[in-house]
Amino acid sequence: MRAAHSHISGEGAVFGNPGAANTRRVEPVRDADAGLKRNICTPRKNDVPACWLMISCIMKYFLGMLRNIRIWLPSVVAVLAFLAQTGCGHDARALKDIFPRGDIFTVWAHSDIHPRGNAEMIHYETAVRDVADYIPGINAALVAGDIVMGSRSAPVQYPWFLSVRKTAAIPFWCEIAGNHDAEDIPSFLRYTGKPLHYAALFGNVLFICMSDEVYDHPTQISDAAFEWWKRLVIQNRDKIIVTMTHGCLAQSGLLASFDWGQRVEGSERFARVLGEYPIDMWISGHAHTPYYMNGKWSRPFWFKNILFIDVSAIRKNKGTNIQSYILVFSKNSPDLAVLLRNHETHSFIASRSLRHTLRHPFEWDGRTGGAVVSVPQ
């Protein structure tokens, strides 16, 4: 496959204390019955002591719970997990509040826009408006698949997507096809101007972008595309390497990796290479995992410091938000800030953001970038 263009087409942390803004003084609760007289019954000689009655009731209660453990245990575990993992800390609204200095390279990583109708187009419009108003100056955008809902909506939703994203004033865009886009690959190629698989270079960061090739739930990537990816990973050890696919690797440790339909089919091919030639980051979408659940990112111990991150999703489902990630590379530094963005509240979620150490310091001249340097032959 040959690239249609030589350049990618385009249009254009120290975290705060998340609890500080919500700190309030809590007044002690006063006993409403204070000062009231109470009747105290003197126990008769043969009465069972109250403490033994209490112990007996508690034992009966727990024995009853144990008999019904299969009923209540899953609910308790789910509630405890929700309470422990909910990201309720809100950080600064604007990126300049976190990174006041200007020598940074910022990337908007998002996915799963595909509106199911006109009413859901507001989700992406809300996200783009938030980026334009509060995070101006983003250098590049990564779209990890599912731009449109399918072949029937492609003639309407691709032009809409291209029109809306112009207002974000982001100069470089890297898109891949997700499973919904793969239903009409010719439309994806025509509207985005990208091949299915390609690598783009920004400074010393190599973004390897690999699309779904088949309209199916598991991400299907051919052996030919895999071999091309493998050569790039082995031959570019001097660069920061970021891979983007729609589904995640089965070995990623992400919450989505436990669902076969959310994975890359044949993930073991990639895992074997990563075990010997680690990259810096693997970006995926597809899962629509809400930010308050654990498993949005992972650094599994069986790989050497590879960050896997689920950047989905823009489209809201029940119980989810309009969310994405902002990646902040600092010039001459290996430190990468990975900031989760809630576009509805115009805020970063500090408790779901993190720092990651890259294999090399980031280098960029501040001007050039976006060149497609490789496509599968």
Q: What is the mean pLDDT of the chain?
A: 82
Residues 6+ apart with CB under 8 A from 224: 376
pLDDT of residue 100: 66
What ranges do the domains of the chain cover? 50-85, 95-374
What is the phi/psi pair of residue 104, to 5°?
Answer: -130, 160
Give the three-state DSSP class for 354: strand
Helical spans, DSSP H, in the chain: 50-67, 69-85, 121-134, 154-166, 185-192, 223-235, 267-276
pLDDT tens-digit readout, 157-169 = 999 999 999 999 9
Residue 280: closest CA among 147, 107, 74, 89: 107
Q: How far apart are CA 75 and CA 243, in angstroms?
A: 37
**What would the mean pLDDT of 195-207 be, rounded to a whole number?**
97
pLDDT of residue 369: 81
Ranking 46-55, 236-245, 318-327 by mean pLDDT, the lowest is: 46-55
Fold of 95-374: Purple Acid Phosphatase; chain A, domain 2 (3.60.21)
Residue 153: closest CA among 188, 122, 123, 196: 188
pLDDT of residue 95: 74
pLDDT of residue 377: 86
Q: How far apart are CA 243 and CA 207, in angstroms?
A: 6
pLDDT tens-digit readout, 114-143 = 999 999 999 999 999 999 999 999 999 999
Q: How far is CA 245 from the centre of its chain?
A: 13
Q: How far apart are CA 253 and CA 256, in angstroms?
A: 8
Name the burial class of residue 45, with classes exposed (0-12), middle (13-18) and buried (19+) by CB atoms within 10 angstroms of its CB: exposed
| Alpha-carbon dihedral 185, 199, 131, 256, rounded to 10 degrees | 70
Q: How far apart are CA 326 and CA 352, in angstroms?
A: 12
